[in-house]
Structure 1
């Protein structure tokens, strides 16, 4: 299946109160991760009123994206139309699609745009099906389970997470087809 695998980094956990600080995505075409077909940008976060937001220290501690790094970055108002063009109605994949999809839906709604991928697929759910006896399904654990490695500095940065999520997606599909 041809899909767009994407990941967001944010200022917090609430799509209604927090902002997006980074978007990373890559296309998977005919079962291959196409690194040349990628989307990657920092985003200067704004609140629901379009006012600038500060990245809280606890969020920066997770992803390493500082206020200085996004000071000159485009806002979501500039970035989201481009990203929606990149997705172009394709099915999308994310690790915990409820989180990333929730931020996309809320930001699209806020800007009068539509988040309408052909389908939303979740590697957490695929991992639960492939490893039903395991309790942990976060991306680090899943990568270890599948023998995948993050690029140096890649964990908790959108494109680094996307690279591993795309590889995990393909491996999980293979595993689940064998069991079917």
Structure 2
């Protein structure tokens, strides 16, 4: 069970129109979350001409990342190679992998790179298998079901969500193994 758990914060829901404003990732090695092996950065969103993009108010209300916070941050073209190096040939995990993976596929394609991890695992899908009677499998509800807590100010920030997703991944696999 050696994977990289990652999370993105974005300006919206469309990988083609919206931008990544934060990337967080952490390793899970041998069933343990490795806190000191992490990747975390804010990203300054820019358009194809390199002009800054504003973070919509609605997005700021969700993740709390403002234009001022990303003003001095690196651009995605500078961040992506380092993130891809961090992931290496590991399998990856995210909560709702379709969303985050879609953003990474679109972003790497725009920058002449490729997002093709060895395998992609989704804690939302694992939650559906582990808790089939539940209607919602949002990360905050999954955390509550598994007895996990977000650090203060950690919800909807990449590394805060990554920590909980990583712990949830480990516990979900244990739960599904026991029930198998």
Normalization by structure 1: what TM-score? Answer: 0.98
Match of 2:45 in 1: 45
Match of 1:145 in 2: 145
Aligned counterparts of 2:87 and 2:139: Cα–Cα separation in 1: 22
Aligned counterparts of 1:87 and 1:49: Cα–Cα separation in 2: 28
Q: Is the 8 A contact 1:89 1:116 kept in 2?
A: no
Match of 1:122 in 2: 122
Match of 1:55 in 2: 55
CA deviation after TM superposition for structure 1 residue 53, in Å: 0.9
Aligned counterparts of 2:82 and 2:76: Cα–Cα separation in 1: 10
Match of 2:166 in 1: 166
CA deviation after TM superposition for structure 1 residue 51, in Å: 3.4
Match of 2:100 in 1: 100
Aligned counterparts of 1:91 and 1:152: Cα–Cα separation in 2: 29
Residues 47-56 or 35-44, more deviating:
47-56
Match of 2:111 in 1: 111
Aligned counterparts of 1:25 and 1:155: Cα–Cα separation in 2: 14
- In structure 1, runs of 5+ residues without a counterpart are none
Aligned counterparts of 1:46 and 1:130: Cα–Cα separation in 2: 40
* Corresponding residue pairs, total: 180
Normalization by structure 2: what TM-score? Answer: 0.98
Match of 1:66 in 2: 66
Aligned counterparts of 1:50 and 1:42: Cα–Cα separation in 2: 17
Q: Deviations over 1:29-81 (max 9, x none)?
A: 11110010000000001235543210000000000000000000000000000
Aligned counterparts of 2:31 and 2:3: Cα–Cα separation in 1: 9
Match of 1:17 in 2: 17
> Superposition RMSD on alpha carbons, in Å?
0.8
SS of aligned partner of 1:45: coil
Q: Deviations over 1:63-104 (max 9, x none)?
A: 000000000000000000000000002100000000000000
